[in-house]
Chain A
Amino acid sequence: MSLEFAIELIKSTLPRDCVLTDPSATAPFETDGLTAYRRRPPVVALPRDTNDVRQVLRICHETGVPVVTRGAGTGLSGGALPHENGVLLVLSKMNRILSIDQEGCTATVQPGVTNLSISQAVADMGLYYAPDPSSQIACSIGGNVAENAGGVHCLKYGLTLHNVLGLKVQTIEGDELILGGTGYESPGVELIPLFVGSEGMLGVVTEITVKLLPTPPCKEVLLGGFNELESAGECVAAIIARGIIPAGLEMMDALAIQAAEDYVHAGYPRDAATILICEVDGTAEQVRSDAKLIGELMVAHGAGNIRNATEPDERDRLWQGRKAAFPAMGRISPDYYCMDGTIPRRHLSKVLTSIASLAEKHRLRVANVFHAGDGNLHPLILYDASDEEQLHRAERLGVEILELCVSVGGTVTGEHGVGVEKLDPMCSQFSTAELEQFFRLKEVFDASGLMNPGKAIPTLAHCSEIKGMHVRGGELPFPELDRF
């Protein structure tokens, strides 16, 4: 009843074309980038501006109806999966760049602006926005803030949090929080870190001020093939130990190399056990000396087939295979499931060996691409979703891989967020007291629990159910039950 009432109120508040209830119109919103999870939203609201957002939140607050915020829908953890009795608040119409301060190197934008379009808008000024998730052509900056999105350049330039200076946030109880600004610091307790990466659980971000950086005048990409995974790992450690922070440092394993080669023919060495792709940027002088040293370190660690590129076209060619790694998997497997654990880098070979044996146990193939600089691992589990039993095995393998990451001192998610996908492994990463603290924190901003309920933080009941399952030796009881 309250949902129907809320829908009526939203319809009477927003223009007709900003409210969708017809199943054919709401269908595109039933899933985000994690397509294994689908749920048709009863209503989709498309606010035009901050005031519309505030109206929708007020209605949800008054009627007690849940609200799930969605940006471009490219998220990989189901954070924007609709609520069956809630409003889906889609911010794609709020897609204007509000102001650019060339001298101060900041841009203030609405949440629906795509990540890449910020850099495009300031490219002529010799500036860019550093975080570059691989979906940057489509993903929105609001979604980046909600997930604290990363990318291949995080080691040097940080995550979204490190590049956000200010936020305007609407809370469900009707407050507008103006956090930070265009300066480096602001007085009082810093609330920005709470909202960045909060997966729509605390409020709706309606305006974002980002830091812009000067475009590096010079870049160089090096690629080396290694016969042993360990030597590639040691080479990464040696590069860092020599005081170089590469802009990007990526590894791919043999299966990923083969798939990428078959797909885009980037010229990667097919006989290598692993390849390392390293990008350095900065002033010409710095790049020249860093690249020289990295080349020498690659040789010293047994790399063959070393290639380097300074011109944009050549650099793109070296990156091509890495960037095509995910779609390349689509050619060798009907479906793949992308994991996102992060581990201390020194455990890389141990973790990859364990992943291989877990994969064998579950009779599935796993390809690995790895942000080697910051320890963010993306095992791609290959499976066939049309075979329900195989999907089940893939999910089980995924959970075990993430538990493995936690056991070596890592985390269940480096950059994709928890969403609905990683609620189970969150139970192994956090204690009861920590999870309870998270819920008390959520209540501060959302006492009625209406903001994206059921996501990001597992309930204690959920965890005890999961832990109970573990006691039973990994065999899930009642597999037909909805576990979210």
Chain B
Amino acid sequence: MTRPFDDSQRLIDSVNHAVAHKKQLSILGHGTKAHYARSTHGDALQSRDHVGVIEYRPDELTISVRAGTSLTEIKDVLDEHDQMLACDPPRFFGGGTIGGAVASGLSGPGRPWYGNIRDAVLGIEIVNGLGECMRFGGSVMKNVAGFDVSRMMVGSLGIFGLILSVNLRVHPKPEIERTTKLELEWDQAWKVQGETISKPSAVSATCYWSGTLYLRLSGNRASVNETLGRYPESTETENELWEHVRDHNHPFFHRQEQLQRAWLGRGTQPEITNAGDQLVEWAGAQVWSHLGPTDSQALEDNDTSEPFDRTSANSETESKYVKRLRRAFDPHLLFNSDLRL
């Protein structure tokens, strides 16, 4: 475990220095998501030394951590009390900081059942572009005082400011977890996935790839067995699958072509082949493909399909307000100024 270290004063000083000298800053944690979004304008503002758990209250289901703390370390700390960060953000290349996870807003395979990282954020401490240190939200579940800046920060890729620390809600780990697989044509797989959303069950993640539907079942033994009983044709497989999918270590992600991601509305059935060119998560709501062989009309028609190598943009009307918001938090456009949202 890394020794806790409060590097906030240096970080605040760096921001103030940048304000005074009209410099720009690119925020950097572990740099594991550089292929997703990376700012290269200006001096690197390194948050990875600002580390450590500030407070962990298993009985309150909350943890407060400095932004540079690694996701692996948070997992280890939570493991001791059989708790977890349910949104399960990706740990690309086995690394990643909690600050980076919040700033990028990416969630793991359990997203429809466990929520995303925005749902886990209870409060945040940031430095805005004026060098002011501010706290929004808090460490309690219910809190409606003031605008919800802490959750707006999720997925904003650092354009509103530097995250110093976050308060997160944690969940108890399920008693057991099992993975099962079913050989199914896409149409049938689609139906099974739909039922994991519309009917009570122990399913907590789905993945369809190359003609096989994988289901993760979580809960107590009786409830997992009850759900397993609904799929008599299924065979059990390794739980590691979900980490591989989450961290893009699964063979599907090994290809060299440009990776594409599509977010589909619930109830919109995409066209998926059995050839392994696409990988479907979230009961059908997140579809990965590679640019090139894939020529799925459903993906092409969907506005949200885009390369997984840049920041995704808001619509034009939204963009007008996002730009103003950026100025409201960072009037000199210090932070990640080359990222456009």
- Footprint of B on A, CB under 8 Å? 101-106, 125-127, 147-148, 150, 154-155, 158-159, 161-162, 165, 171, 175-179, 181-191, 193-194, 196-198, 201-202, 214-217, 237, 240-245, 282-286, 288-290, 342-346, 371, 373-376, 409-418, 422, 426, 429-431, 433-434, 437-438, 440-445, 456-457
Contact of B325 among A102, A181, A409, A444 (CB under 8 A): A444
Given the known A-B contacts A189-B341, A196-B148, A240-B61, are A410 and B328 also in contact in the complex, defined by CB atoms under 8 Å? no
Given the known A-B contacts A187-B314, A283-B200, are A375 and B156 also in contact in the complex, defined by CB atoms under 8 Å? no
Q: Is the CB of B328 within 8 A of A444?
A: yes
Could you tell me the distance between the alpha carbons of A422 and B143 in the complex, rounded to whole angstroms?
13
Interface residue? B306 (CB, 8 A): yes
Q: Is the CB of A148 within 8 A of B144?
A: yes
- Bitwise interface map of B from 144 to 157 toward A, beta carbon under 8 Å scored 1, else 0: 11111101101110
Q: Which of B49-71 contact A (CB under 8 A)?
A: 57-62
Q: Is the CB of B201 within 8 A of A283?
A: yes
| A148: B residues at CB distance < 8 A | 144, 148
Q: Is the CB of A440 within 8 A of B328?
A: yes
Q: Is the CB of B266 within 8 A of A101?
A: yes
| B118: A residues at CB distance < 8 A | 190, 193
Contact of A344 among B60, B199, B318, B325 (CB under 8 A): B60
Given the known A-B contacts A186-B304, A214-B200, are A161 and B151 also in contact in the complex, defined by CB atoms under 8 Å? yes
Q: Is the CB of B198 within 8 A of A105?
A: yes
| B128: A residues at CB distance < 8 A | 437
Interface residue? B14 (CB, 8 A): no
| B246: A residues at CB distance < 8 A | none
Interface size class of B (residues with CB under 8 A): 35 or more
Q: Is the CB of B138 within 8 A of A410?
A: yes
| A126: B residues at CB distance < 8 A | 198-199
Given the known A-B contacts A188-B313, A344-B57, A410-B140, are A175 and B320 also in contact in the complex, defined by CB atoms under 8 Å? yes
Among listed B1-9, B38-46, B220-228, B234-242, interface-contacting one? B220-228
Q: Is the CB of A245 within 8 A of B226?
A: no
Q: Is the CB of A437 within 8 A of B152?
A: no
List, sorted by A's number, 7 A–B pairs whose CB atoms are closer than 8 Å: A106-B267, A184-B116, A185-B105, A190-B154, A194-B148, A282-B223, A283-B219
| A241: B residues at CB distance < 8 A | 58-59, 81
Q: Is the CB of B155 within 8 A of A190?
A: yes
- Give the residue name and chain of the A residue nearest to B140 (CB): A342
Could you tell me the distance between the alpha carbons of A197 and B319 in the complex, rounded to whole angstroms?
21
Could you tell me the distance between the alpha carbons of A167 and B315 in the complex, rounded to whole angstroms?
14
- The interface centre, meaning the residue of A179, A194, A417 with most chain B CB atoms within 10 A of its CB, is A194
- The interface centre, meaning the residue of A103, A288, A345, A417 with most chain B CB atoms within 10 A of its CB, is A103
| A375: B residues at CB distance < 8 A | 60, 140-142
Given the known A-B contacts A240-B172, A433-B134, are A147 and B155 also in contact in the complex, defined by CB atoms under 8 Å? no
Contact of B306 among A182, A187, A215 (CB under 8 A): A187
CB distance from B135 to the nearest CB of A (A): 7
- Footprint of A on B, CB under 8 Å? 57-62, 81-82, 105, 107, 111-112, 115-116, 118-119, 128, 130, 132-136, 138-149, 151-152, 154-156, 159, 171-175, 194, 197-202, 219-220, 222-223, 225-227, 263-268, 282, 285-286, 304, 306, 311-315, 317-322, 324-325, 328-329, 341
Could you tell me the distance between the alpha carbons of A198 and B148 in the complex, rounded to whole angstroms?
8
Q: Is the CB of B145 within 8 A of A411?
A: yes
| B322: A residues at CB distance < 8 A | 188-189, 191
| B318: A residues at CB distance < 8 A | 177, 179, 188-189, 191
CB distance from B77 to the nearest CB of A (A): 16
Given the known A-B contacts A182-B267, A189-B156, are A286 and B140 also in contact in the complex, defined by CB atoms under 8 Å? no
- Give the residue name and chain of the A residue nearest to B313 (CB): A188
Could you tell me the distance between the alpha carbons of A346 and B58 in the complex, rounded to whole angstroms?
11
Contact of B59 among A127, A176, A240 (CB under 8 A): A240
CB distance from B251 to the nearest CB of A (A): 25
List of 6 A-B pairs having minimum Cβ-Cβ separation, nearest first:
A104-B267, A188-B314, A187-B312, A104-B266, A285-B222, A243-B172
Given the known A-B contacts A240-B172, A345-B59, are A283 and B146 also in contact in the complex, defined by CB atoms under 8 Å? no
Given the known A-B contacts A148-B148, A181-B265, are A289 and B220 also in contact in the complex, defined by CB atoms under 8 Å? yes
Could you tell me the distance between the alpha carbons of A147 and B116 in the complex, rounded to whole angstroms?
21
Could you tell me the distance between the alpha carbons of A186 and B155 in the complex, rounded to whole angstroms?
10
Could you tell me the distance between the alpha carbons of A24 and B155 in the complex, rounded to whole angstroms?
49
Q: Is the CB of B286 within 8 A of A418?
A: no
Contact of B151 among A154, A193, A426 (CB under 8 A): A193
| B119: A residues at CB distance < 8 A | 158, 162
Q: Is the CB of A182 within 8 A of B266?
A: yes
Q: Is the CB of B147 within 8 A of A414?
A: no
Could you tell me the distance between the alpha carbons of A284 and B220 in the complex, rounded to whole angstroms?
11
Q: Is the CB of B142 within 8 A of A371?
A: yes
